[in-house]
Amino acid sequence: MKLSKYLLKTIKEIPKDAELKSHKLLLRGGYIKQVSAGIFSYFPLGWRSLKKIENIIRQEMDGIEYLEINMPVVIPGSLWSETGRYEAVGDELLRFDDRVGRKMVLGMTHEEVVTDLIRYAVKSYKQLPVKVYQIQTKFRDEPRVRGGLVRVREFVMKDAYSFHDSYEDLNAAYDDAYKAYHRIFKRCGLPAIAVSSDVGMMGGSGADEFMAVTEAGEDTLILCNSCSYKANKEVAYAKREYLKETPRAMEEVATPGKMSIEDVSAFLNIPQTKTIKALVYSNGDELVMCVIRGDLEINETKLKNYLKSKAIFLATDEQLKGAGIVKGFASPVNQKMRIIADTSAAESSNLVTGANKVDFHVINCNYGIDWNTSDVVDISSVSEGEMCPECGGKLTVTRGIEIGNIFKLGTKYSGAMKAKYLDKDGKEKDMIMGCYGIGVGRLMASVLEVTASDDKIVWPISIAPFQVSLLGLYKDNNIELKEKCDAIYENMKSQGIEVLYDERSASPGFKFKDADLIGSPITVAIGEKSIEKGGAEVTVGTNETQIISLDKLISEINTIIKRLFDELNY
């Protein structure tokens, strides 16, 4: 491709709305343009890269025997009502009426549509398993978009679905997907880690998320330094040791003005591990008191899941007052409301907690003696340095962008939608399902977050818009050199090298800067200076520039291209 004929709009200034590196670079390099919050157009450069990622995904999905299909973006609401999600899902599901007033939705995920498809086509165990996928635009009316392509409303997603007649078969497919995902991310030049995760609104029995590790990420990950334990903070747990002592008699002590755990522990000169924190949550209908050791934090995802609530909030001051709770001095002792106790609070002895009375706490408070509940469960968050639940090693906290996930759905959708098959004995059974997603644009942005510097992109060769940027640094009157460059360009093209040839009448500096943003893994610069040095200047990524003579140039470039692909496990 000749650059003078290409639609390229690069900008020098950093757009003020961009904060993340990937966002700045994608805007500056002319890959994307924002149309509305979380809605983007792709320029040819961005779309080429996206298409390459899609094709890698296609190859790997085809490789584990998934069949590509396509499902609609506009879906009748009635289909979503079959599973109850039309009503259950919040405003991120965009609902509207068509011309005759039918309720419609924009597809944000396709469990209903694919289940409808498969229940129509598949009736017998002999036809199972069935595995399908699509790569298609989704729309989710996200309440909060952020970070350019990291969190958007409209996006290209690969979503795959599998249908089985046994959990063993589902597990095997899940395993296949897990491995294929690692191959996909590796081939895209993005090291990704898989972490156990919450199932969220998808439901089902198990889920892993694939994460690009970067500070720009929205998710918090808990990783073990010594073993393979990896989990999203939402579901992570730690091994803890609790101090068991002979219970002493509970006693009231004055703690004037000391409301926080820090203040109380400092005032009484005891560690925070000897205190209890009692927080009151509302799930809309009822109030529950959550009791946890003072040094720990409540994990609201765990709590929400335990309560089977959609949303929970800390109780307001009015709610506390109404329930007779004295803020800052709340206590599980003599508490009438339902108590959810974290294991840490139930397993430790002789703790300090509020006296439910202004300016007083109690010491030597013991679970089972001074207070009780049937709900003792892990509702705690894990923090840096805690012990790994599997090996006792040290846990670290890091951030990640979720670029893919895989779910064991079970029969949640097939059951609701009567997607049944006849088994060997002629009995009707619900199909067992799995689903597997990858956010394509988000993957592209993540590659930059992880690999790019602030003002220079170097794409992995597999997903670079162009493999080679050829810069013709000739003066306008140097016809001879221009013809040499033209010939090299034609030669590269004829050999199937994806080359973007900068033959514009512009200064070398201008061309170098654009090349930095176009980010081809290989840059070839030819000018009077390079010719004097013996040929073309070839720069591979961030490596040092080397001079290669013009007669060997093409074969060398081919070798480099092959090497770069090899490094990505092709």
Write out the residues near RNA by the rule CB under 7 A: 10-17, 19-20, 28, 34, 36-38, 90, 92, 108-109, 138, 140, 142-147, 151, 157, 159, 200-202, 218, 300, 304, 310-313, 405, 407, 435, 437, 439, 456, 473-476, 505-510, 512-517, 525-531, 537
User: From the CB of 438, what's the least distance to RNA, in Å?
Assistant: 7
301 SS3 class = helix
Element (H, E) at 556: helix 550-567
State in angstroms the smallest separation of the CB of 25 from RNA.
10
CB of 310 to RNA, least distance (A): 6
- Residue among 352 and 531 whose Cβ is closer to RNA: 531
- 111 or 165: CB nearest RNA: 111
Residue 206 near residue 199, CB atoms below 8 Å: yes
Look up residue 156 and give its two tokens: 């290209």
Phi, psi torsion values for 68, nearest 5 degrees: -80, 130
C-beta closer to RNA: residue 32 or 450:
32
Query: Do the Cβ atoms of 276 and 293 come closer than 8 Å?
Result: yes
Nearer to RNA, 430 or 502 (CB): 502
Taking the CB of residue 392, how many other CB atoms lie within 10 A of it? 11
Q: Which is nearer to RNA, 3 or 564 (CB)?
A: 3
When the beta carbons of 7 and 100 are compared against RNA, the nearer one is 7
Within 13 Å of residue 67, how many CA atoms lie on the same side as its CB?
9
Picking from 321, 311, 302, the residue whose alpha carbon sits closest to that of residue 282 is: 311
Q: How far is the CB of 489 from RNA (least distance, A)?
A: 16
- How would you classify the pairing of strands 154-164 and 395-410? unpaired
DSSP state of 238: -
Instruction: Please state the closest distance from residue 129 (CB atom) to RNA, in A.
Output: 19
- Could you tell me the smallest distance in angstroms from the CB atom of residue 372 to RNA? 28
CB of residue 351 vs RNA: minimum separation in angstroms?
Answer: 27
Written in H, E and C, the secondary structure of 492-545 is: HHHCCCCEEEECCCCCHHHHHHHHHHHCCCEEEEEEHHHHHHCCEEEEECCCCC
Of 231 and 250, nearer to RNA (C-beta) is: 231
- Residues 480, 482, 487, 492, CA torsion sign: positive
What minimum distance in Å lies between the beta carbon of 493 and RNA? 21
As measured in angstroms, the least distance from the Cβ of 323 to RNA is 21
DSSP-assigned states of every residue in 256-288:
TT--SHHHHHHHHT--GGGBEEEEEEE-SS-EE
Give the list of residues 6+ apart from residue 108 with CB closer than 8 angstroms, or none: 89, 92, 93, 94, 138, 139, 140
Which residue, 141 or 359, has its beta carbon nearer to RNA?
141
Q: Which is nearer to RNA, 29 or 332 (CB)?
A: 29
- Measured over the CA atoms of residue 315, residue 320, residue 322 and residue 325, the dihedral's sign is positive
Shortest distance in whole angstroms from residue 384 CB to RNA: 16
Q: Which two tokens stand for residue 347?
A: 């397993």
DSSP secondary structure letters along 117-160: HHHHH--BGGG--EEEEEEEEEE---S--BTTTTB-SEEEEEEE
Nearest approach, Cβ of 209 to RNA (angstroms)? 10
DSSP string, 446-463: HHHHHH--SS-----TTT
Residue 411: CB atoms within 10 A of its CB come to 16
**Cβ nearer to RNA, comparing 183 with 513:** 513
Closer to RNA by Cβ: residue 203 or 247? 203
Determine the Cα–Cα distance for residues 548 and 61; give it in Å rounded to an integer: 39
Residue 237 CB, nearest distance to RNA (Å)? Answer: 18
Q: Quick one: which H or E segment has residue 440?
A: helix 440-451
Nearer of residues 144 and 424 to RNA, judged by Cβ = 144
Minimum distance of RNA from residue 412's CB (angstroms): 10
**Which of residues 508 and 541 has its CB atom nearest to RNA in the complex?**
508
242 or 313: CB nearest RNA: 313
In the complex, the smallest distance separating the C-beta of residue 240 from RNA, rounded to whole angstroms, is 23
Query: Which tokens go with 250?
Result: 């509970």
Q: How far apart are CA 133 and CA 158, in angstroms?
A: 7
CB 492 within 8 A of CB 471: no
Alpha-carbon gap, residue 188 to 494, rounded angstroms: 26
Return d(Cα 153, Cα 439) in angstroms, integer: 12
Any residues with CB less than 8 A from the CB of 496 and at least 6 apart, and which? none
